[in-house]
A and B are shown apart, each in its own frame.
Chain A
Amino acid sequence: MTAIGIYQILFFFLIILALTKPVGMFMARVFQGERTFLHPILRPMERLIYRLSGVREDVEQHWTQYAGAVLAISIAKFAFTYLIQRLQGFLPLNPQGFSTAAAAQGATPMTPDLAFNTAVSFMTNTNWQSYVGETTMSYFVQMAALTVQNFTSAAAGIAIAIALVRGFARHEVKTIGNFWVDFTRATVYVLLPLAFVAALIFASQGVVQNWDAYTQATTVEGATQTIAQGPVASQEAIKQLGTNGGGFFNANSAHPFENPTPLSTTLQILLIFVLPAALTYTFGSMVKDTRQGWSLFAAMSIMFFIGVFTAYWSEQRGNPILAQQGIETAVTATQPGGNMEGKEVRFGIAQSALFATVTTDASCGAVNTMHDSFTPLGGLVPLFNMQTGEVIFGGVGAGLYGILLYAILAVFIAGLMVGRTPEYLGKKIEQKEVKMAMLALIACAFSILVFTAISTVLQFPKDSYWNPQGPAIGNLNNAGPHGFAEILYAYTSGTANNGSAFAGISANTPWYNLTIGLAMLIGRFLFLLPLLAVAGSLAAKKQIPVTSGTLPTHGGLFVGLLVGTVLIVGALTFFPALSLGPIVEHFLMRQGRLFSLAIPSLMDLPWLS
C-alpha cells in the first residue's frame, strides 16, 4: 500500500462523511412531508404523478397494504421490462437492429430466459449482467426498460427503509406510511435531481450520450474498429446513485465510455455511498436521536475500512506466480505495480480496490475492475461483503433495513447474555421480531449455499436445452478453487441483489438464468417482507421508558456489538464455503500452483484430483 493510495481512500471517506448530515436531513424532510428548497420546482411534478397514477396522497397504509404495494409494483416492473426487451425488434431507437433480421452476426439473441433473468434482475435492484449490453440491447431497452428500473427499484428500496424507520419512530399506530407517496417522493426529490446533475458531469468527462449507430473507424494501422455508442451518461448516473450497477456495456464501469477518468470514477463511488450513508442520518433524525444514526454509521465505517484495506493490501501485493516471470509488482514512480490483470491503467490498484469494496459494501455491483481476476483475498472481500447482506452502507434503503435487522439481532444476543428482554429505541424486541429477522437471514444463506452446492454437482447432457455446456461446472472460465468461487460468487451476488460477478462464468444459459433469477427473488422478497412485518409490529408497540437497565444503542459498546454480530453471523454461515474457494486458493497461489480446465465429470472434479 502507498501513502497516495491511502489518501485516495481517506479523501473519498471524508466527502461521504461531510455529505451524510445535509443529505440525510434533506431526506428526513422529504419523507416527513415537509417543504424543501426543491418544492417550488418539483412539487407540481409530484402532484401530477399522483393524479396520473390515481394515488391518494393523504391515505396511510397498514404494513400488509404497504407490502402489497411493493409486490404489485414489482409485478408491473417485471412485466414492463420483460415485454420491452422481447419486443425490442419492433420498437424504435434500435440502430444496430437487435432482434431483427438486420442484426450483426455477433449479436446475442434476446431469449425468453435472458429476458426473464434481466427483468427479475432489474426489478430486484440486482442488475446482474447475463446480457452483453452492446451486442444485445437496443437504446430503447436501455432507456425505457433498464434506466427506468434503475430509478424505480432504488425508490422502492428507499421507501421500504423509510417504512421500517417509521416502525421505530411511531407508537401504538397501525400504519407505516403510504408506499406510493414514499416511492414518488424518493424519485422526484432525491433520485432525479441528483442523477440529472451527475449525468451532465459524466458527459463532461467523456461518457457518451447519443442515439447514433455504432461508429465505424479505420484505425491508424488500417484495421476496422466498430465503436459502440449509446445514451450512457443518463443511465450511468442512476446506475450508481440507485446502487443498481447494471452496465450499459459488458465491461460495466471499466469501459472507458462509462467511466473515462479518475474524476468520473470518484464521482461514481460517491454516488454509490451518498444515499445509503445519508439514510443513517435520516433514520436518526426520524427517531429523534441522531446519535442512533451515527452509531450505525460508525459500525458501517469500521467494516468499510477493514474491507477496503484488506482488498487494497492484497491487490497491491500482487500475484507471485506472475512476479516470477520477471514482472514488476512493486510500486515505482511511473507505474502502480500490483495485480494489474483485469484492471485499467487510469485507475491503478487503489481506485480499483476501493471501487470493488464500495460496490459490494453497497448492493451496487458496478465494477471498474474484473473481480474474477482479483487475488484470492482481494476477491474474498467483495464475496464476504455480499454474504453479510450488504450492510456496510449497503444498497439505497436496503442497507439501512439490513443493518437494522442486525441491530435487532445484536440487542437480542446482548439481552440473552444478561437475561433481560431486549429493547431497541424504546421498543421491546420480542419473539416475532427475532423470528422475522432470522427468517430473512436464513433464507439468504439457504439460497446462496444450496444453489451453489447444486450447481457444483449437477449434470446435464451436452447440448441440452438447460445448459448446452453440459454439466453446470462446464460454464466456468477457471478451474480449481477459483472455479468454485465463480459459482459461489454468482449465487451470492444474485441473492444479495448485488449484480457484480466473477464474470468468467458463462451464465447466459437457461439453468443459470433461471436459478440466479430465483436467488434474486428470494434475496429481495424473503428479506424485505419479513422486515415490513417487523415494521408493522414495531409501530403498534408502546414506547417503554429508558431505565438504568437499558442497553444504550449508541456509543462504542453497541457499535462493537453490532460489528461483532455482522461479522460472526457471516463467518459462521459462510466460512466452510469460503475456505473451499478463496481461502484455499490463497495458499495454493502462494505455493505457485496452477489449474487447467479439464473436461469435467462428476467423478473428476478438478479440485478433488
Chain B
Amino acid sequence: MWSQIAPAFRITLVMTILTGLIYPAVVTGIAQMVFPNQARGSLVTVDGKVVGSELIGQNFSKPEYFHPRPSAAGAGYDGALSSGSNYGPTNQKLSDRVKASVEQYRQENPDYTGPIPADAVTTSASGLDPHITPANADVQVSRVAKARGGDAAAVRQLVDRSTDRPWLGFIGEARVNVLRLNLALDRDLPRK
C-alpha cells in the first residue's frame, strides 16, 4: 500500500483541480451565459427590488393573498435554512400541529366545508415549497376575491394562469406557484 501513497496524493490533487475547479467553473460560465436568470436563482423583481425567487416559497398571511403551505424551514420559509418537520406519522406534535392548522384554515376560509387538501396543513420536505395544489388554491379563491372586492371568476382565471401542468402531461403534479399568483393579483386585481 505504501508504494501507492505517492500516486494517490498526486492523482487526488489532479482530480481536485479537474473536477473541483475546472469542471464547476466551466459549468458556471456556460450556465450564466445560456441560462442567466435560472443560474442566479430565478429571482423576481418588482420596481427594481428583489422580492424573492420564483422557486423559493415565502410567507403570505394577509387575506388578499393566497397562502402557502405551513413551513418547517427555520421560523418559516427561511431561505437559508431548508428543512422538513421530520415528524413521524405517530408523533403527537404532528397531530397537534395539523389540528391547529386545520382550525386556522377553516377560520380563514369559512365558505369551504369539505375535506381539506392535504398539502394545506402539512409541511413540505424543504420548508420552501413554492407551490400549492390546485385544490388548495380553489378553496382560497373566494376569500381572496372578497378581500380584494373582485369577483371570483377573475381570481380563478389568474390561478389558472399560474398553474404549471405535469411534464409531458403525466410526470409530476399540477401545481400553483404562490408568489407568481400573488404578484399577478397585485398587478391585475389591485385591492379596491
Q: A180 touching B81 by the CB < 8 A rule?
A: no
How near does chain A come to B189, taking the closest CB pair, in angstroms?
Answer: 14
Q: B89 touching A256 by the CB < 8 A rule?
A: no
Partner pick for A144 among B21, B124, B138, B170, CB 8 A cutoff: B21
- CB-CB under 8 A from A266, the residues of chain B are 167, 171-172
Rounded to whole angstroms, the CA-CA distance of A39 and B143 in the bound complex is 63
Near B by CB (< 8 A), chain A positions 329-388 give 329, 332, 334-348, 351-352, 367-370, 372-376
Q: A106 touching B81 by the CB < 8 A rule?
A: yes
How near does chain B come to A330, taking the closest CB pair, in angstroms?
Answer: 8
Q: B19 touching A328 by the CB < 8 A rule?
A: no
Closest to A183 in B: B11
With A251-B126, A325-B102, A348-B172 in contact, do A478 and B27 touch (Cβ < 8 Å)?
no
Question: Is B79 interfacial (CB 8 A cutoff)?
Answer: yes
With A216-B50, A370-B125 in contact, do A223 and B59 touch (Cβ < 8 Å)?
yes
Rounded to whole angstroms, the CA-CA distance of A65 and B127 in the bound complex is 48
How near does chain A come to B86, taking the closest CB pair, in angstroms?
Answer: 3
Q: A229 touching B41 by the CB < 8 A rule?
A: yes
Q: B167 touching A261 by the CB < 8 A rule?
A: yes
Question: Is A447 interfacial (CB 8 A cutoff)?
Answer: no
Q: B83 touching A345 by the CB < 8 A rule?
A: no
Partner pick for B126 among A206, A255, A479, CB 8 A cutoff: A255
Partner pick for A147 among B19, B54, B183, CB 8 A cutoff: B19
- CB-CB under 8 A from A374, the residues of chain B are 89
Partner pick for B24 among A4, A143, A261, A481, CB 8 A cutoff: A143
Rounded to whole angstroms, the CA-CA distance of A265 and B175 in the bound complex is 15
Rounded to whole angstroms, the CA-CA distance of A52 and B17 in the bound complex is 12
- CB-CB under 8 A from A235, the residues of chain B are 24
Q: Which of A18-26, A70-78, A290-298, A450-458 contacts B (4 or more CB under 8 A)?
A: A70-78
Partner pick for A256 among B20, B35, B55, CB 8 A cutoff: B55
Near A by CB (< 8 A), chain B positions 1-50 give 1-16, 18-21, 23-24, 26-28, 30-32, 34-35, 38-43, 46, 49-50
Question: Is B148 interfacial (CB 8 A cutoff)?
Answer: no
- CB-CB under 8 A from A321, the residues of chain B are 89-90, 95
Q: B52 touching A217 by the CB < 8 A rule?
A: yes
How near does chain A come to B8, taking the closest CB pair, in angstroms?
Answer: 4
Q: How large is the interface on B (under 10, 10 to 19, 20 to 34, 35 or more residues)?
A: 35 or more
Q: A228 touching B80 by the CB < 8 A rule?
A: yes
Question: Is B144 interfacial (CB 8 A cutoff)?
Answer: no
Q: B124 touching A254 by the CB < 8 A rule?
A: yes
Q: B27 touching A594 by the CB < 8 A rule?
A: no
How near does chain B come to A143, taking the closest CB pair, in angstroms?
Answer: 5
Rounded to whole angstroms, the CA-CA distance of A45 and B30 in the bound complex is 21
Closest to A368 in B: B125
Q: A225 touching B102 by the CB < 8 A rule?
A: no
Would you give the 0/1 interface string for A135-158, flagging 1 where the beta carbon is closer than 8 Å to chain B? Answer: 100000001110110011000000
Question: Is A575 interfacial (CB 8 A cutoff)?
Answer: no
Q: B79 touching A227 by the CB < 8 A rule?
A: yes
Near B by CB (< 8 A), chain A positions 177-203 give 180, 183-184, 187, 192, 195-196, 199-200, 203
Near A by CB (< 8 A), chain B positions 55-80 give 55-62, 65, 69, 73-74, 77-80
How near does chain A come to B68, taking the closest CB pair, in angstroms?
Answer: 10
Would you give the 0/1 interface string for B88-122, flagging 1 where the beta carbon is closer than 8 Å to chain A? Answer: 11111111001100100000000000111111011
Rounded to whole angstroms, the CA-CA distance of A260 and B56 in the bound complex is 9
- CB-CB under 8 A from A479, the residues of chain B are 91-92
Which of A228, A351, A596 has the most CB atoms of chain B within a 10 A radius of its CB? A228
How near does chain B come to A157, taking the closest CB pair, in angstroms?
Answer: 15
- CB-CB under 8 A from A204, the residues of chain B are 34-35, 38
Partner pick for B41 among A180, A208, A351, CB 8 A cutoff: A208
Question: Is A281 interfacial (CB 8 A cutoff)?
Answer: no
Q: A54 touching B6 by the CB < 8 A rule?
A: yes
With A7-B170, A221-B61, A322-B95 in contact, do A334 and B133 touch (Cβ < 8 Å)?
yes
How near does chain B come to A262, taking the closest CB pair, in angstroms?
Answer: 2
Q: A477 touching B86 by the CB < 8 A rule?
A: yes
Which of B24, B26, B114, B132 has the most CB atoms of chain A within a 10 A radius of its CB? B24
Rounded to whole angstroms, the CA-CA distance of A342 and B70 in the bound complex is 11
Question: Is A49 interfacial (CB 8 A cutoff)?
Answer: yes
Q: A373 touching B84 by the CB < 8 A rule?
A: yes
8 CB < 8 A contacts A-B: A11-B170, A147-B19, A219-B52, A225-B79, A334-B138, A339-B118, A370-B85, A482-B89
List the interface of chain A (C-beta within 8 A of B): 4, 7-8, 11, 45, 49, 52-55, 65, 67-69, 71-73, 75-77, 79-80, 106, 132, 134-135, 143-145, 147-148, 151-152, 180, 183-184, 187, 192, 195-196, 199-200, 203-212, 214-221, 223, 225-229, 231, 233-235, 238, 249-251, 254-257, 260-263, 265-266, 318-319, 321-322, 325-329, 332, 334-348, 351-352, 367-370, 372-376, 477-482, 485, 502-504, 585, 588-589, 593-596
Known: A257-B41, A342-B122. 15 other contacts (CB 8 A): A49-B14, A52-B10, A68-B2, A132-B81, A135-B81, A206-B38, A206-B55, A215-B79, A218-B50, A219-B51, A220-B60, A229-B41, A251-B82, A327-B102, A481-B90
